[in-house]
């Protein structure tokens, strides 16, 4: 994530017009050697191993929180108190109580807060939002989302921090469904009821020596065994306030699905399909098309008229995963400059965590949870 964020801060002013150019001031991390290396590579001016010192520096305006979720709460609170604007990775935090306090701290200290559900700023997804807002889908009936990965299908994959409740709080319900619920809120609306079912397919895994940097998934090596304390997969069924219904499927056991973040939205006038593995495409069905000429149309969302795209390449030239981070930086800086909010933010985060927590509760009781 350090890589994706550093890249975004640097590329934003190269590809977009920005009146304020972000400065890569201080890189913060626990391990001095690897931190220095990272900072050198990416052009961070200084390094710091104590985040508490960093948030107090008067020469810093923005804190970018890109650490595991168990640390978000503490850092965000401290940063907000120091009047720093916050760019925060997802999932937001460990529970609803934390989320509400984080939001409150930002509001009280009048800082700009952004929660990095980056897929909203994928051009094809932003296009979906435009089309829904224009009414091209009519009344929405269905959300059908799935966020499927397969990185822990092998039983000898080690017990990394993502599989431990004390650090991660939950498995794909937190990591993946947070993204999907954000998109559902963004595109369909608020959720009213939640039913959830979870599964744990592999209950024990080799212990991992936590790597100090880099890709934990690849480098971790097992020594002994320990219990997996988060779920491996989480399904949800929801009813939206609008009357639409939705389903969610988040899993790390969908063999063959590397990062298959998909949704289908069906409405009275049309439908949309999206798949992050073909992230430059959006499929659109229009019920308004003449009889016999109807079908799902694959829009390659790389035209200059598509959101964010006139700043990149000519039509038909794809962008990649990291570009949505650049878009987030552009909008975040603009929000700070103009003193406006940016979405998704901690208010959206509170709503997401509420749904995810309700899901965990429903999975435990077998009962549908009605959100207040």
Identify the sign of the CA torsion 185, 186, 187, 190: positive
Q: Under the criterion CB under 8 A, does residue 293 sit at the interface with its own copies?
A: yes
The torsion angles phi and psi of 136, rounded to 5 degrees, stand at: -65, -15
Tokens matching residue 39:
């900072």
Closest Cα partner for 153 from 235, 261, 233? 233
161 near its own copies, rule: CB under 8 A: no
Query: What is the rounded CA–CA span in Å between residue 311 and residue 167?
Result: 38
Which residue in the set 13, 206, 222, 226 belongs to the binding site for its own copies (CB under 8 A)? Answer: 13
Q: Could you say whether residue 197 binds its own copies (CB under 8 A)?
A: yes
Contact assessment for residue 209 and residue 221, using Cβ atoms and an 8 Å cutoff? yes
Establish if 14 lies at the interface with its own copies (CB under 8 A): yes
Interacting span for its own copies (CB under 8 A) from 81-89, 184-192, 318-326, 346-354: 318-326
Of 135-154, which residues contact its own copies (CB under 8 A)?
Answer: 139, 141-142, 144, 146, 148-151, 153
Whole-number Cα distances in Å, 284 to 126, 220, 273, 298, 360: 14, 42, 7, 7, 33
Considering CB under 8 A, how many residues would be counted as binding its own copies? 99
Segment 44 to 103, residues that bind its own copies, using CB under 8 A: none
Among 33, 314, 337, 361, binds its own copies (CB under 8 A): 314
Q: With respect to its own copies, which residue has the nearer C-beta, 165 or 269?
A: 269
For position 324 contacting its own copies by CB under 8 A, the verdict is no
Task: Report if residue 36 touches its own copies, rule: CB under 8 A.
Answer: no
- Both tokens of 263, joined, read 């949704």
Q: Which of 313, 291, 286 is nearest to 302 (CA)?
A: 313
Q: How far is CA 250 from CA 30, 235, 363, in A?
A: 31, 6, 14
Q: Which stretch binds its own copies (CB under 8 A): 106-114, 158-166, 172-180, 196-204?
A: 196-204
The binder of its own copies chosen from 165, 278, 343, 347 (CB under 8 A): 278
Shorter beta-carbon distance to its own copies: residue 49 or 154:
154
**Among residues 343 and 368, whose Cβ is nearest to its own copies?**
368
The residues in 103-132 that bind its own copies, with binding defined as CB under 8 A, are 127, 131
Task: Please identify, using beta-carbon distances, which residue of 166 and 227 lies nearer to its own copies.
Answer: 227
From CA 156, how far away is CA 35, in angstroms rounded?
29
**Least Å distance between CB 2 and its own copies?**
11
Q: How far is the CB of 57 from its own copies (least distance, A)?
A: 24
Backbone angles phi, psi at 315, to 5 degrees: -45, 140
The strand ranges marked E within 215-275 are 222-227, 233-240, 245-251, 260-267, 270-275
String of DSSP letters for 329-341: HHHHHHHHHHT--
Q: Which residues inside 201-260 make contact with its own copies, applying CB under 8 A?
A: 201, 215, 217-218, 232-233, 235, 237-239, 243-245, 247, 249, 251, 253-260
Contact between residue 149 and residue 176 where contact means Cβ atoms under 8 Å apart: yes
């Amino acid at each position: 994530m350090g890589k994706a964020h550093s890249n975004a801060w640097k590329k934003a002013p190269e590809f977009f017009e920005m009146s304020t150019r972000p400065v890569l001031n201080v890189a913060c991390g626990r391990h001095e050697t690897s931190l220095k290396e990272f900072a050198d590579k990416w052009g961070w001016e200084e390094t710091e191993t104590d985040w508490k010192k960093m948030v107090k520096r008067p020469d810093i305006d923005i804190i970018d929180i890109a650490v595991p979720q168990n640390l978000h709460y503490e850092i965000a609170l401290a940063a907000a108190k120091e009047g720093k604007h916050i760019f925060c990775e997802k999932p937001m935090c460990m529970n609803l109580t934390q989320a509400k306090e984080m939001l409150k701290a930002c509001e009280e200290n009048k800082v700009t807060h952004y929660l990095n559900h980056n897929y909203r700023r994928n051009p094809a997804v932003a296009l979906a939002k435009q089309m829904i807002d224009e009414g091209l889908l009519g009344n929405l009936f269905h959300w059908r989302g799935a966020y499927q990965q397969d990185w822990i299908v092998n039983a000898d994959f080690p017990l990394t921090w993502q599989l431990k409740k004390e650090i991660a709080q939950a498995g794909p319900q937190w990591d993946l469904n947070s993204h999907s619920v954000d998109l559902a809120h963004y595109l369909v609306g608020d959720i009213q009821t939640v039913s959830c079912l979870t599964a744990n397919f592999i209950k024990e895994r080799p212990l991992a020596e936590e790597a100090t940097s880099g890709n934990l998934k690849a480098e971790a090596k097992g020594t002994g065994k320990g219990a997996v304390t988060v779920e491996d997969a989480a399904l949800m069924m929801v009813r939206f306030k609008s009357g639409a219904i939705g389903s969610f499927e988040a899993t790390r056991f969908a063999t063959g699905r590397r990062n298959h973040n998909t949704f289908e939205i069906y409405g009275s006038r049309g439908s949309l399909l999206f798949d992050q593995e073909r992230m430059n495409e959006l499929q659109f069905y229009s019920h308004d098309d003449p009889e016999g000429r109807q079908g799902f149309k694959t829009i390659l969302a790389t035209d200059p008229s598509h959101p964010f795209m006139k700043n990149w390449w000519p039509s038909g030239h794809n962008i990649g995963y990291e570009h949505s981070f650049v878009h987030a930086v552009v909008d975040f800086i603009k929000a700070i400059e103009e003193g406006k909010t940016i979405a998704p933010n901690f208010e959206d985060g509170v709503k997401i965590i509420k749904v995810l927590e309700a899901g965990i509760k429903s999975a435990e009781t077998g009962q549908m949870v009605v959100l207040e």
